[in-house]
Structure 1
Amino acid sequence: MRLFRTAALSALLLATAVPALPAQAATLNVSTAAQLKTALTNAKAGDTIKLADGTYSGNFKTTVSGSSSAPITLTGSSKAVLTASGGYGLHLNGASYWQVQGITVTGGQKGIMIDSATRVTIDGVTVHGLDMEGVHFRNSSSYGTIRNSTIYDTGNDGRGMGEGVYVGSAGGTSDKSDHVQILDNTIGPDVGGEAVDLKEGTTGGRVAGNSFDGRGLTGANYDDSWVDVKGNNYVIENNTGKNTTNNGYETHTQQSGWGCGTVFRNNHSDLTDATGPGRYAFNITNYNASSCKVTIDSSNTITGGRSLTNPGIPVG
């Protein structure tokens, strides 16, 4: 009896001491649109979807997430082109912990849409030829990053819109697409709306090291600057801009208590060709030293234009 109990106990300890092994991460080599759709549906944490050069026609969507230690990667060269005829080129819908690298997205309504997803990184992509926005972080998609990417030729539906990078949603403050970083990108020319639009309800992001070319700004719907900040506590630094219909950077209060706390530093604005009535590097429409402070650091510079800031805004 004692030997039986010892053997049973040993078997139990062995069974509980060896956990099930996690699924092995895979590299999924893709060369057709059908294969890509299947890979986006079935990807697991840690997987890499590798696109061969070529054209992938359709709308591509995923709803699966990676993890903080094992993100899912979608990668290819700029010759791997997702081409849509409407809708979104690539839609990460609730799909957190993704890395999208190198590919081109063109055609359709919007290029890359990130909805309700955290820690999505867009790196080295090209986005162009769209009816509306290039890249949109929406529905509380927090801690996202777009970097080293090129966005141009957006807003082609004739409505005078089409931002390069759009963060949040207009008309309320429930979209908490917070802490989004927009780093070292080239945005423009022929971007119909602002290069970057930071909506009310969003907070704590950073826009740094970008090159903005506003040639093609329509001026419609107040789209008359490179960056429009309606969220709170952003840092806008080390950017360069040229060609704008009016101003370089603007802040606005669309909802009470928003559009405040932004710090602008070491940005260079070339307003040589600006034609609007403002022609300020920084048009701060909502400054209040106690309730809505905006900081314009003396490291910012301007060429041409009317003045570094609109009257009454301190610089220091």
Structure 2
Amino acid sequence: MLATILSAGGLFTGPAAASATIEVATAAQLKAALGAAGPGDTIHLADGTYTGNFKATTPATASARITLTGSPRAVPTVGGGYGLHPNGASYWTVSGMTGANYDDSWVDVKGDIALVQDNTGTRTSNDGYQTHTQQSGWGCGTVFRGNKSTLTGATGSTQLAINVTNYSTACRTTVYSSNTVTGGKGLTDIPVVP
């Protein structure tokens, strides 16, 4: 992991075998960190703009989540597609950032047991956040808490702050009332928890 992060110009703190905090300040460093992070690690985004589509595929565990975090001034942005795409990446926490300028959604959860909290999103053509079940169990158990979504100007078919595409007793997603939305067609397509 250390060699991967250093080759991308990122800073690495902590021992390689233990949980690490990976500090990133560029889109290239973020892409490298998403590929290198392991259970228990934290990827911390410095304030700035990160242009690109970002994919995470490494699963964490219930006892050692992978956390992607930054301040509201850490802004992943792109002119098309998804912002952050956790694909099969279970037990991830995405917290504190601002997503902007996406064609479909800022965060597209295709792993399970994700926690998406305290993020701000603006400028999307459709939804703020989405869950999908491309394989059994994916997109299930996700929790959304404290996210602020501005969907003013969205023109997509659903225009929801949180679009849950598979919701059943076998595949639960929790959307708390602490999530807010301005514009669009509403907060979510599932029951909201106080």
Q: Is the Cα–Cα contact under 8 Å of residues 60 and 92 in structure 2 kept in the other structure?
A: no
Q: In 2, distance between residues paired with 1:139 and 1:271?
A: 33
Amino acid at match of 2:83: A
- Structure 2 counterpart SS, 1:134: helix
Amino acid at match of 2:59: K
User: What residue ranges of structure 2 are gaps of 5+ in the alignment?
Assistant: none
More strand per residue: 2
- Structure 2 counterpart SS, 1:243: strand
Compare 187-196 and 228-237 and name the one that shifted more: 187-196
TM-score normalised by length of structure 1: 0.52
User: What residue ranges of structure 1 are gaps of 5+ in the alignment?
Assistant: 1-60, 64-72, 75-87, 93-97, 101-115, 155-161, 169-174
- Residue by residue over 1:57-116, the C-alpha shift from the partner in whole angstroms, topping out at 9 and shown as x without a partner, is xxxx827xxxxxxxxx97xxxxxxxxxxxxx73599xxxxx429xxxxxxxxxxxxxxx9
- Flag the 1:127–1:287 CA change in 2: closer, same or farther, 3 A: same
Q: In 2, distance between residues paired with 1:117 and 1:189?
A: 32
- Name the Cα RMSD after superposition: 2.9
- Residue by residue over 1:21-59, the C-alpha shift from the partner in whole angstroms, topping out at 9 and shown as x without a partner, is xxxxxxxxxxxxxxxxxxxxxxxxxxxxxxxxxxxxxxx
Q: In 2, distance between residues paired with 1:90 and 1:118?
A: 21
- Residue by residue over 1:239-263, the C-alpha shift from the partner in whole angstroms, topping out at 9 and shown as x without a partner, is 1110012100000011112210011
Q: Is the Cα–Cα contact under 8 Å of residues 59 and 91 in structure 2 kept in the other structure?
A: no
Match of 1:152 in 2: 50
TM-score normalised by length of structure 2: 0.81
Q: Which has the larger radius of gyration?
A: 1
Q: Note the C-alpha offset of 1:309.
A: 1.1
Match of 1:252 in 2: 132
Q: In 2, distance between residues paired with 1:176 and 1:152?
A: 23
What does residue range 24-39 of structure 1 map to in structure 2 within 5 Å? none
Match of 1:121 in 2: 21
Match of 1:190 in 2: 78
- Structure having greater relative contact order (Cα 8 Å, sep ≥ 6): 2
What does residue range 1-316 of structure 1 map to in structure 2 within 5 Å? 62=3, 89-90=8-9, 98-99=12-13, 119-123=19-23, 125-128=24-27, 134-138=31-35, 141-149=38-46, 150-154=48-52, 162-163=53-54, 166-168=55-57, 175-178=58-61, 179-185=65-71, 186-190=74-78, 192-200=80-88, 202-213=89-100, 215=101, 217=102, 219=103, 224-288=104-168, 290-310=169-189, 313-316=190-193
